[in-house]
A and B are shown apart, each in its own frame.
Chain A
């Protein structure tokens, strides 16, 4: 069966520090991968999606970047965190590329102080 893992689960970082959140999917190949963010009390915002290795599409301009170095690995990064980067970050994948049935990870809660 397919599984998706994110880490770390929680993270507290000072303003200006770097960030790396990692997501891996197991049990499937060539998944579409997604990063969403949910700020406190807000809805889910799509940040990036990827249809293949090295292919990244950004949905909104921001202080973050994404990379996909391997087929089932998706990384969210920042060189210098801002207070506004705080939130709940969720990675997701598609079972089939042309459907809207997404499977989400457990999430990574980031607090920037």
Chain B
């Protein structure tokens, strides 16, 4: 599976959009981009995933560049409860579903 690069940390003001970038320049054609977040002392929570089209759900939007070498997770109106470590993971299709987590981005939402 392709490696990903994320900033170590980011700040965001409460109520503003949080835009979390991820680089995955070695992604291959059958690999998906997944985003998870982990609030302190809890298990990771699935947020969203995509292949090449932009995706949106009740939690966030995922914007994938046309060349698929990078993506951005957007939390449209960040709240204090969105403070967490956000993981971007690239994974090929397969029959196990195992995910390899990197270090992620620590997002601090400030009042």
A interface, CB within 8 angstroms of B: 32, 34, 36, 43-46, 49, 51, 57, 59, 88, 90, 92, 94, 96-107, 109
**Binding site secondary structure of chain B:** loop
Q: Using known A-B contacts A32-B96, A97-B95, A97-B96, determine if residue A44 contacts B45 with beta carbons closer than 8 Å.
A: no
Choice from A44, A94, A106 contacting B42 with Cβ under 8 Å: A106
* B45 contacts across to A, CB distance below 8 A: 104
Task: Check B99 against A46 for contact (C-beta < 8 Å).
Answer: yes
Task: Check B96 against A49 for contact (C-beta < 8 Å).
Answer: yes
- Complex-state Cα separation, A51 to B98, whole angstroms: 10
Task: Check A49 against B102 for contact (C-beta < 8 Å).
Answer: no
Closest B residue to A31 using CB positions? B97
Task: Check B102 against A43 for contact (C-beta < 8 Å).
Answer: yes
- Complex-state Cα separation, A52 to B30, whole angstroms: 25
Task: Check A49 against B98 for contact (C-beta < 8 Å).
Answer: yes
* B97 contacts across to A, CB distance below 8 A: 32, 94, 96-102
* B89 contacts across to A, CB distance below 8 A: 100
User: Closest 7 A-B residue pairs measured CB to CB?
Assistant: A104-B43, A44-B101, A94-B97, A100-B91, A100-B34, A90-B43, A43-B103
Task: Check B99 against A43 for contact (C-beta < 8 Å).
Answer: no
A11 to chain B, nearest CB (A): 15
- Complex-state Cα separation, A104 to B103, whole angstroms: 18
A103 to chain B, nearest CB (A): 7
Closest A residue to B45 using CB positions? A104
A–B pairs, 13, beta carbons within 8 Å:
A32-B97, A32-B98, A59-B98, A90-B43, A92-B44, A98-B94, A100-B34, A100-B49, A100-B91, A100-B99, A103-B46, A106-B43, A109-B41
Task: Check A101 against B46 for contact (C-beta < 8 Å).
Answer: yes
